[in-house]
Amino acid sequence: MTRPTGPPTFDLPERPVRREFTGVRHAGEPDYHAIQQSAEFVRLRRRLRLFVFPMSALFFCWYMTFALLSAYAHDFMSHKVAGEINAGTILGLLQFVSTVVIVLAYRSFARKKLDTEVDRIHELAGVDKE
């Protein structure tokens, strides 16, 4: 008896082909499964992930840097910058500033890149925009 060489092979079922969805499934109810499988929805999710994940990682790194500096770099954080204002206070306030900047960046991104895609999906699904 001979043993096969190489990695084992598996018969995997074929992946469903993504097609454009058409209309509604039942009277007045969009076909949500078809919408999720559509190329438009997949593109929308991809665009959203390409913004959200890197921005979240960037903010998390920035926040952890602040937390670690607060815990271990007392001399740096207590360094007086102007009067009673020290580096720790400035970096702490910059946490709030960076949050507002991220919100504004997302709002702009959503208006330019996501809203048009959402409107297109609504149109294809036959959903009235309220």
For 81-103, the pLDDT digits (tens) are: 999 999 999 999 999 999 999 99
- Is the pTM for the entire model greater than 0.85? no
Q: What is the pLDDT of residues 14-71, one digit of tens each?
A: 555 455 555 555 556 777 888 888 889 999 999 999 999 999 999 999 999 999 999 9
Exposure string of 63-89, with b = 16+ CB inside 10 Å and e = fewer, is eeebeeeeeeeeeebeeeeeeeebbbe
pLDDT given for residue 104 in this prediction: 97
DSSP string, 7-76: S----PPPPPPP----SEEETTEE-HHHHHHSHHHHHHHHHHHHHHHHHHHHHHHHHHHHHHHHHH-HHH
Annotated domain spans of the chain: 24-125
86 φ/ψ angles, rounded to the nearest 5 degrees: -110, 175
